C-alpha cells in the first residue's frame, strides 16, 4: 500500500465577493514507502496548498488523503512538516527546540537524550545544542527544524520550500545533507520547490502541476542513482524538459515521462 494516497482531492476557496475559486481541480497521487517525490509548478498553482492538505493543516473541499491506512483529519505525529521558515522558538535553545515534540508527548528523558544525540550527529549540529536561534545561521536553523521534524519518527515528512531562504552554497550543502539522510533513514518525503534543478537532484519522481486550478500536468521519473552530480547530462536534460513543459503549459494529465 502506498505510504501517501491523495484521492480525488479538490480545493475551492471563496473570493471576497463570495464567489467560488478553484485552487486545485482534481489530484490523484500515490507515493510509495521510502520514496522522495517533489512537486513543482508555476507560482500560485496550489503546491503549498496541497502539502498543507496532506499535513492536515487545511481541509480539502472534496476527496481524501491517507497516510498508510489512516485518513488525514488533522495534524498528527505520523506527519513531520518543515516549512521555508524553520519556525524555531527564539527563547529555546537548539536542544529544547528539537526536543519540543518529544516533551509534549511525555517521552522519557532517557529516550529524549538518546534521540537528541542521534539527530545532532545526523544534522551536523554537535556543539550547537545550547545555542539560541538568533545565534545560528539560516542553514543551521533549517537543520534544527529538520531535526525537530524527524526526531518524532514520523511516517512521512513534508517539506515546503525548506531551502529557499538560504544562499546558494548553503542550499547545495543542505540538499546534499538531505540526500544523505534520506538514503540512511529511507523516510517517505513529499517536497515542494520552485527550483527545478533542486527537484531533479533530490527526487525519485517529480510531479509537475498545471496552472490553477491545478491538475497533474506531467510526471518525471528520475532514473539516476545517488550520489548524483549536478552537472550530469541526464539530470540537466530532465530539468530542461520540465522548464520547457512549464513554459508550454500543455496539460497531459496522468502521463509518465521517463528519459
Cell numbers at 229, concatenated: 552530480
- Cell numbers 502506498: residue: 2
Mean pLDDT of 148-169: 91
Gap between the Cα atoms of 243 and 15, Å rounded: 31
| Mean of pLDDT over the chain | 91
Gap between the Cα atoms of 108 and 22, Å rounded: 46
Mean pLDDT of 149-168: 91
What pLDDT is attached to residue 122? 86
Judge whether residue 249 has pLDDT over 70. Answer: no
For the chain, list the domains and their CATH numbers: 4-78+156-258 (3.40.50.300), 87-153 (no CATH)
What pLDDT is attached to residue 1? 67
What pLDDT is attached to residue 248? 79
Judge whether residue 253 has pLDDT over 60. Answer: no
Under 8 Å between Cβ of 213 and 20: no
Q: pLDDT by residue (tens digit) across 213-248?
A: 999 999 999 999 999 999 999 999 999 999 999 887
What pLDDT is attached to residue 247? 83
Amino acid at each position: 500500500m502506498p505510504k501517501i494516497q491523495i484521492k480525488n482531492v479538490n480545493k475551492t476557496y471563496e473570493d471576497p465577493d463570495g464567489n467560488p475559486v478553484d485552487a486545485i481541480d482534481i489530484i490523484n497521487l500515490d507515493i510509495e514507502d521510502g520514496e522522495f517525490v517533489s512537486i513543482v509548478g508555476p507560482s500560485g498553482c496550489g503546491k503549498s496548498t496541497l502539502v498543507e492538505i496532506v499535513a492536515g493543516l487545511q481541509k480539502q473541499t472534496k476527496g481524501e488523503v491517507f497516510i498508510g491506512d489512516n485518513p488525514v483529519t488533522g495534524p498528527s505525529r505520523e506527519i513531520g512538516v518543515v516549512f521555508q521558515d524553520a519556525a524555531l522558538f527564539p527563547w529555546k535553545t537548539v536542544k529544547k527546540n528539537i526536543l519540543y515534540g518529544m516533551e509534549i508527548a511525555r517521552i522519557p528523558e532517557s529516550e529524549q537524550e538518546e534521540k537528541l544525540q542521534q539527530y545532532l550527529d545526523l544534522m551536523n549540529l554537535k556543539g550547537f545544542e545550547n545555542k539560541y536561534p538568533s545565534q545560528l545561521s539560516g542553514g543551521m536553523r533549517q537543520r534544527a527544524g529538520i531535526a525537530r521534524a524527524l526526531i518524532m519518527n514520523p511516517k512521512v515528512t513534508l517539506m515546503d520550500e525548506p531551502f529557499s531562504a538560504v544562499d546558494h552554497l548553503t542550499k547545495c550543502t543542505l540538499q546534499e545533507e538531505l540526500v544523505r539522510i534520506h538514503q540512511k533513514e529511507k523516510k517517505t518525503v513529499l517536497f515542494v520547490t520552485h527550483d527545478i534543478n533542486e527537484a531533479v537532484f533530490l527526487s525519485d519522481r517529480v510531479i509537475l502541476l498545471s496552472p490553477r486550478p491545478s491538475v497533474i500536468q506531467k510526471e518525471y521519473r528520475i532514473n539516476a542513482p545517488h550520489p548524483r552530480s549536478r552537472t550530469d547530462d541526464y539530470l540537466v536534460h530532465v530539468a530542461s524538459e520540465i522548464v520547457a513543459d512549464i513554459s508550454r503549459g500543455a496539460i497531459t494529465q496522468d502521463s509518465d515521462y521517463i528519459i
